[in-house]
Structure 1
Amino acid sequence: MKNVSVFGYGVTTKPIVKFLNHKGIKCVIFDDKFLSPSTDEYGNLLLPSDEFKAQDSEIEILSPGIPPTHFLIQKSKNPIGEYDYFYDLFSPSYCPQTIWISGTNGKTTTTEMLTLLLSKFGAQSGGNIGTPLAELYTKKAPLWVLETSSFSIHYICKAFPNLYLLLPVKEDHISWHGSFEAYVCDKLKPLSLMQQDTYAILPEEFSQRPEVINFIGKAFFYSDSQSLAEKIGVSIKDICFQEPFLLDGLLALYASKILFNQADIDCLNTFKVGAHRIEEFNDKKGRLWVDDSKGTNVDATLEALKRYKNKKIFLILGGDDKGADQKPIFELAKHLDIEIFTIGSNEKKLLAMGESYALKIYPCSRLEEAIKKIKDVLKSDGVGLLSPAAASLDQFKSYKERGEIFRQSVLKEEQE
């Protein structure tokens, strides 16, 4: 293979470039962040995006975060995503079993839970989390459990999983996909590529979609945690997680039962939920704070609000809302004892909406300022909740950094 172009040089594509370099293939990498030509430590050429010329490229390997409207995508002749690239490398001598997990919220938790349940079968997680696909392929892992984003699915043309697990789909990434319908279509796209001996676990609401009706594999449907527990043949009271993690755990158990006829609740109950997703901690006065920085869309914030509906809620809201409609949060807030503290790039929009709903809402601009204001009014019967319903990149490097700054700021102020 010659003249390999790579679009975007980030978490997804760097392992692929390394994989290709080990095979003796140099790459030309195009990225908006490159301002002038240079090379990396492995001798790959790094160029600004506007220097891409289609006639100089035989294949273009895509970073999934690049939207289809980007001119690199528009100009490319032979674009291929990470999933299709490694699918093309599978052979009779090595063809791993694959599970894809997608949906709007809970992908990471469900992926990690299912990897734990299937570890005895050699399962390793990858995709958005865990081991890069290039390393899974190199290690010849027998079972790939992949957290799969709608961005990655959008660029898939041939790859498909043995089992596709779809969590509930709610409004998200509208600015990237263009509409909620386009987002849903991408979430259901794997069904059109899957073969007869494959399985899909899907929300009941999609049962009459054409993509589902025409699916030639075997589909299993669910509506909520109780319906899942009944299908699996387990009792919810035996599972140690509350919502939304209860649903994630039951979906992991369902996938395990479908593939291997096992639903190991004892193993599931050893799982520890990751940081920044409804993560509770107390300040030195014993007041409750919750880091839900991973709540980057409306549905995640709705789940967090429902969890603390019996408390006085001091909600930090705002950031890059990705074009999603924030009204459901304010509709729910009308029925709660809540005060809202806004931050981020959509602050003006949130303030206008809060005023239209006659809610107590305060502009703070920055996270630290919101924390200071909440500290003045939070009591032992309340909760200081960071659940922004927005991405973090307008003010932070990642949702992780946002969550870490939240926790540090709360505890630092207590020490002063």
Structure 2
Amino acid sequence: ADAVEVGNIGTPITRAIDSAAGVFAVELSSFQLHTTRSVSPLASICLNVDADHLDWHGSAEAYAADKARVYENTVRACVYPASDRRVERMVEDADVVEGARAIGLALGAPSVSQLGIVGGLLVDRAFVEDRAHHALALAHVSDLSAAYGPHPSAAALSDALAAAALARAYGVEAEAVEEGLRSFRPAGHRRAIVGHAADLTWIDDSKATNAHAARASLAGLPPRSAVWIVGGDAKGQDFHDLIRAVEPVLRGVVVIGRDRSALAAALDECAPGVPRVEVDGHEDWMFSVVNEAVALSVPGNTVVLAPACASWDQFENYARRGEAFADAVRRLAAQWGGRP
């Protein structure tokens, strides 16, 4: 059946209702779930739950409760990260259609009713007949290299397993899952390398609009190798846990956006030895940001725009922020003779 991507970003569901598509791949925000009572998905997943949008939801508990609604009335499979007990509890508490199953995702060998990774293979031990004794190979980790490079991060592997689980719940064959993962390319502003300039690698992850996403963006980088560009509309988040987690990889930090003071306070407490500069919103400020990043770096470092914040204080959306960053990197490359 033809499938279309609809929901929170891109085409609204209401515009696709009359299409000929047989399957909707729907992303729902916590705001949309807050007012939703009638959705009954074939398969559903909450990728993670972290304190976000607290300025709107009022509390971390209210935010989590709204995200948990994604599992309500699920028909076939409630998919969840097996290592996240908070999300697993959402599945346990959900009111689902009789016969719906809980399907876990593991970054190691899967248990029964899980998908996981064994010997460089993504494997299914959930949607196979003899799952007590066998698993079905779906794809090689190397199939993700065109999208994520030769060493996909844990976040990339988790996303691949999530997509595979939802597809398998629908009944997609293993060969089609493999082809889908091999041909997949991330949308813009998601861990995208936008240039090599000033002997540095520049990564645009402007879509990392909360602490959880920013942590995933920086995960796996070598110690003291990253210059982190962070800031914007904090949405009421607390950044202390994030900064404690990423501090070992940081060479320096450039703080931007409206809520710089909250980030500065957390950096002072949790990463006092990491050099930091703040850049306000003056004219041509993004070019100042990339030049400040150069000043904090040493050759071979990686500069990562992973703001952990929304962009609304300075931009129309996260894509505009990412475009401004990429434009500034291109200007820098022209100055230094690097390749954009």
Q: TM-score, normalised by structure 2?
A: 0.79
Aligned to 1:271: 184
| SS in structure 1 of the partner of residue 290 of structure 2 | helix
Change (3 A) 1:271 1:333: closer
Aligned-partner Cα distance in 2 for 1:339–1:221:
40
Q: Find out whether 1:224 has 2:224 as its counterpart.
A: no
Cα drift, residue 310 of structure 1: 4.0
Contact 2:105 2:161 in 1 (8 A): no
Are the equivalent residues in 1 in contact too, given 2:71–2:91 (CA < 8 A)?
A: no
Instruction: Give the 3 Å change call, closer, same or farther, for CA 258–361 of structure 1 in structure 2.
Output: same
Does residue 137 of structure 1 match 2:11? no
- Select 2:51's aligned residue among 163, 171, 186: 171
> Equivalences for 1:80-119 in 2 at 5 Å?
none
Quote the offset at 1:130 in angstroms: 4.1
Preserved CA contact (<8 Å) 1:292 1:385: yes
Distance change >3 Å, CA 287–CA 341, structure 1 → 2: same
Shift of 1:301: 0.8
1:183 aligns with 2:87: no
- Measure how far apart 1:262 and its partner are: 1.7
Q: Which residue of structure 2 aligns with residue 257 of structure 1?
A: 168
Q: CA deviation at 1:260?
A: 0.8
In structure 2, distance between residues paired with 1:250 and 1:239? 12
Identical positions, percent: 25
- Partner of 1:93 in structure 2? none
- Residue 67 of structure 1 aligns with which residue? none
2:143 and 2:178 in contact (8 A); partners too: yes
1:198-225 CA-partner distances (Å, limit 9, x unpaired): 3221233233458536534423232533
The alpha-carbon distance between structure 1 residues 254 and 373, as it changes in their structure 2 partners (threshold 3 A), is same
1:237 aligns with 2:130: no
Residue in 2 that maps onto 1:407 = 326
Report the CA distance between 1:139 and its aligned residue. Answer: 2.1
Bigger Rg over Cα = 1
Amino acid at match of 2:184: F
The alpha-carbon distance between structure 1 residues 388 and 190, as it changes in their structure 2 partners (threshold 3 A), is: closer
Letter aligned with residue 48 of structure 2: P
Aligned to 1:203: 81
Q: Map of 1:348-359 to 2, 5 A cutoff?
A: 348-357=261-270, 358=272, 359=274
Q: Where does the alignment leave 5 or more consecutive residues of structure 2 unmatched?
A: 117-122, 126-135, 336-340
Q: Is residue 147 of structure 1 aligned with residue 66 of structure 2? A: no
Count of aligned residue pairs for this structure pair: 294
CA contact (8 A) 2:6 2:13 kept: yes
Deviation at 1:276, TM superposition (A): 0.7
Aligned partner of 1:379: which letter? V
The residue that corresponds to 1:315 in the other structure is: 228
Paired residue for 1:212? 93
SS at match of 1:290: strand
Aligned: 1:364 with 2:279? yes
Distance 1:360 1:258, change over 3 A: same
Note closer, same or farther for the CA distance 1:124–1:214 as it changes in structure 2 (3 Å cut).
closer
Tell whether 2:284 aligns with 1:376: no
Structure with higher RCO (Cα < 8 A, 6+ apart): 2
Distance in structure 2 (CA, Å) of the matches to 1:327 and 1:414: 34
* Alpha-carbon displacement from aligned partner over 1:348-391 (angstroms, at most 9, x marks no partner): 12112222231322211243322121123433320111111000
Write the distance in 2 (CA, Å) between the matches of 1:413 and 1:368: 8
Aligned partner letter, 1:365: D
Distance change >3 Å, CA 386–CA 261, structure 1 → 2? closer
Inter-CA distance 331–236: structure 2 relative to 1 (3 Å threshold): farther
The aligned residue for residue 242 of structure 2 is: 329
| Conserved? CA contact 1:282–1:288, under 8 Å | yes
Take 1:135 and 1:258, find their aligned partners in 2: how far apart are those partners?
A: 25
Task: For 1:210 and 1:271, locate their aligned partners in 2 and report how far apart those are by CA, in whole Å.
Answer: 28
What is the deviation of 1:285? 4.2
Partners of 2:234 and 2:310 lie apart in 1 by 6
Are residues 291 and 152 of structure 1, via their aligned partners in 2, closer, same or farther at CA, if it must alter by over 3 Å? Answer: same
SS at match of 2:258: coil
Matched, 1:387 2:306: yes
How many Å separate the matches in 2 of 1:369 and 1:356?
26
Q: Give the alignment's TM-score, normalised by structure 1.
A: 0.65
Give the partner amino acid of 1:237: V
Aligned partners of 1:141, 1:165: CA distance in 2, in Å? 21
For residues 196 and 59 of structure 2, what CA distance do their matches in structure 1 show? 41
Distance 1:222 1:210 in 2: 10
Deviation at 1:238, TM superposition (A): 4.3
Letter in 2 for 1:215: V
Name structure 1 gaps, 5 residues minimum. 1-120
In structure 1, how many angstroms separate the alpha carbons of the residues matched to 2:245 and 2:7? 34
* 1:62 counterpart residue number: none
The CA RMSD over aligned residues, in Å, is 2.3
Give the structure 2 partner of residue 288 of structure 1.
Answer: 201
